[in-house]
A and B are shown apart, each in its own frame.
Chain A
Amino acid sequence: MAVRPRREAQAVDDRQRPRQVRHRPVSSAAPQRPAGSARLNWRIRLRRDRSLLLMTVPAVALLLVFNYVPLFGIVTAFQEYDPLVGVWHSEWVGFDQFQQLFGDPAFWASMRNTLYLSFVQLVLFFPVPIALALLLNSVMSERIRNLFQSVVYLPHFFSWVLAITIFQQMLGGAGVLNQFLRQHDIGTWDIMTNPHTFALLVTSQAIWKEAGWGIIVFLAALSAINSELYEAAAADGAGRLRRMWHITLPGLRGVIVLMLVLRLGNALSVGFEQFLIQRDAVGHEAADVLDTFSFYYGIATGGYSYGAAAGLFKSVVSLLLIWGANKLAHAFGEDGLYRK
């Protein structure tokens, strides 16, 4: 690195250089750039990078308007929000909304539903992508693997409206299943409107739609496992199951814990549109979750502050959950979502 003239042309070049350059000790034997070159004047850097900064402006502006401004909108949860006078002039009521919320049986019912549905989904849904990935990983034929992957990824791109319509046509009152049952005089069985099996229904919908997509991450983790480990284990006489237990599953551990942390952090968001669409069919007792509660009591009936309070409660609890889940992951010696 010869001594070069220090001008702006050089400055432009500068940011392409690897970052270590900045941290090189001053006493190094290598030829030094003139003093002060490591950290350029901010004015020069600003001018050098102005087009880059300009490029980020539209995205940042949109996020400011539609993501940051609503953060301030949280104050409506502490008001009796009146759309006619706006946030500035609405009456402040402190924690009244929350008091009312916690005394509301409908709120606790939706809370209970949320936790129950979340639990059912965790138990029944979570292992499916792992199992599918393990299974697919053991398939040797490249063609079958590709075919399988392209088919199981597909439902992920369907909308909930479409997915539920498909379920309706297969399992609903006029669907294929009941059509078959009627033709054989067995009596009908309408799965789509039964509140008692609703948890199983939504879980199977979620599995149908998302399990295939979920295998991507696990497949990647599987292919990162060093195959020499398998070879060594086989040489030591470990059978198929032993190898899976001692090599494959430990290899997946980090990813599984990470996915579990994410899942727990999202325990209060079980799937909004899915429930919104099916709420009428099974009745709100079974289908109301925190998100739909916030929507129906907030927007549909005009009780904005009430809905905002429910939403805020949900966000706070979710943050606590994700934090707690991370602690748990650290306790098990895993990285979780962020490192300690």
Chain B
Amino acid sequence: MTNALTIGSRRERRGREAGTTRRRARSARPPWEEPPTIVGRTAKGLTLGTTLAVILVPLWIIVLTSFSTPGAVNRAGGLVIWPDGLSTETYRQMLSDPTVVTALMVSLGITMVGTAVSMAVSVLCAYGLSRSRSFGHRFILMVLIVTMFVGGGLIPSFLVVTGLGGYGQWWALILPGAVSVFNILVLRAFYQDTSSELIDAARMDGAGDWRILWSVVLPTSRAVTAVTALFYAVGYWNSFFNVMLYMPTDSQKWPLQYVLLTYVNRGNGLPGSVNSGFGSAHAQTAPLSLQMAVVVLTLVPLVIVYPFVQKHLRTGVLTGAIKG
């Protein structure tokens, strides 16, 4: 069934990777191509520049505002566009607020536990299915792939989770979405490419499948492991709808995204801190710089991890190709 999905077939992928290296090698303009005109060059530069600006300028403004003193925010009449009176006071204030700290801890906890669970389950399953001709792997693959195309939908899933007692439980945020078949297929494609000589050698030395997975396959596929972990981690870090479904009332269990929504986007006060935390002087809505600091806080983990994984994204995405 996987091979029926055209783009992802392995032969094609190889061809494409070869094409990639060819392109990489080509750094100068090919001799047959016309030199660009001034107009074309300007238009191209403008388009690319605008695209970058559309993404980067909002981030710049938000980061700058979060680092501004209240005076600077007042002078700017709202969000700060140019540096003027920077300070880290806002962050100190934010990190002394129990609501934000709790939410941060919840978010980190969900992300770490969830990613660990998902990765363990996916890596095992992907390796279990990656040895060709193993018993029953075709059938299990079918079981997996079917879930990519048909599903019960929102309400039946909700009823199953609540029926199992998941309402208000941490596991309801993690387990229902813990397995991504797409990620398993990506991992599996890589494990199949692991050199069979290495695996044979390990087998000769008396290694079993668990040993081979741990000391041969995993170390040789670090890149794809990193990308998959990033995908899972981002999913957990961004999870918001699950919280809305399974723990909408317990603000002690809200992750950062939920706090961000209620507090910055909808302009409500922070849950549970109407008369405390940010101080009664600010009544319900906190200063703009503080709101922006919460925005930045949700960005920080991503910005830390992204550079390390970014160079592998391409391969990770193309391996699974457009199967999902």
Give the B-binding residues of A (Cβ under 8 A): 12-17, 19, 22, 42, 45-46, 48-49, 51-56, 58-60, 62-63, 65-74, 76, 81, 83, 86-87, 132, 135-136, 138-140, 142, 144, 147-148, 150-155, 157-162, 164-166, 168-170, 174-176, 179, 182-183, 208, 212, 216-217, 220, 223-225, 227, 230-231, 234-235, 239-240, 254-255, 258-259, 262, 272-273, 276-277, 280, 291, 294-295, 298-299, 304, 307-308, 311-312, 314-315, 319, 335-339
**Shortest Cβ distance from B140 into A: residue:** A56
B29, A140: Cβ atoms closer than 8 Å: yes
For the complex, give the distance between the alpha carbons of A314 and B150 in Å: 12
Q: Mark B1-39 against chain A: 1 for CB-CB distance below 8 A, else 0.
A: 000111100000001100110111011111011100000
Closest chain-A Cβ to B173's Cβ sits at a distance in Å of 12
A163 CB to closest chain B CB (Å) equals: 10
Q: Which chain B residues have a beta carbon within 8 Å of chain A's beta carbons?
A: 4-7, 15-16, 19-20, 22-24, 26-30, 32-34, 44, 47-48, 51-52, 54-56, 58-59, 61-62, 76-79, 81, 120-122, 124-125, 127-129, 131-137, 140, 143-144, 147, 149-164, 175-179, 181, 184, 196, 199-200, 203, 208-210, 213, 234, 237-238, 240-241, 244-245, 257-258, 260-261, 264-266, 292, 295, 298-299, 302, 306-307, 310, 313-314, 317-318, 321-322
Q: Is the interface of B mostly helix, strand, loop or mixed?
A: helix
Asked whether A76 lies within 8 Å of B155 as measured between CB atoms, the reply is yes
Contacts of A183 in B (CB 8 A): 77
Instruction: Tell whether A298 pairs with B306 under 8 Å between CB atoms, given A14-B133, A216-B313.
Output: no
Which residue among A148, A176, A212 has the maximum number of chain B CB atoms within 10 Å of its CB?
A: A176
Other CB < 8 Å A-B pairs besides A55-B128, A165-B264, A170-B61, 19 of them?
A52-B135, A55-B124, A56-B128, A58-B124, A66-B160, A71-B152, A72-B156, A150-B306, A158-B299, A168-B265, A179-B77, A217-B7, A258-B6, A291-B154, A294-B155, A295-B154, A298-B155, A299-B155, A315-B150
Q: Is the CB of A161 within 8 A of B15?
A: no
**Nearest opposing residue in chain B for A46, CB measure:** B135
Q: Is the CB of A307 within 8 A of B121?
A: no
Contact across chains for B33 and A234 when beta carbons are under 8 A apart:
yes
The 8 lowest CB-CB distance pairs between A and B, nearest first, are: A70-B152, A73-B156, A159-B238, A311-B153, A55-B128, A59-B125, A234-B32, A70-B156
Q: List 19 A-B contacts (CB under 8 A).
A: A52-B129, A52-B135, A52-B137, A53-B136, A59-B124, A66-B177, A66-B179, A70-B153, A135-B48, A150-B307, A150-B310, A152-B51, A161-B238, A168-B265, A176-B79, A216-B313, A298-B154, A298-B155, A311-B153
Contact partners of A76 in chain B: CB under 8 A: 155-156, 159
B158 CB to nearest A CB, Å: 6
Interface of A is mostly: helix
- Of the candidates A48, A59, A155, A335, which one forms a contact with B55 in the assembled complex, judged by CB atoms under 8 Å apart? A155
- Within 8 Å CB of B196, what residues of A? 16
Q: Do residues B158 and A148 form an inter-chain contact, with CB atoms below 8 A?
A: no
B237 touches A159 (CB 8 A): yes
Q: Is B156 a contact of A71 with CB atoms below 8 Å?
A: yes
Whether B322 pairs with A230 at a CB distance below 8 angstroms is no
CA A72 – CA B163 in complex, angstroms?
13
CB proximity of B201 to chain A, nearest CB, Å: 11
Q: Which of B30, B62, B144, B258 contacts A169 (CB 8 A)?
A: B62
Q: How far, in whole Å, are A227 and B33 apart by their CA atoms in the complex?
A: 11
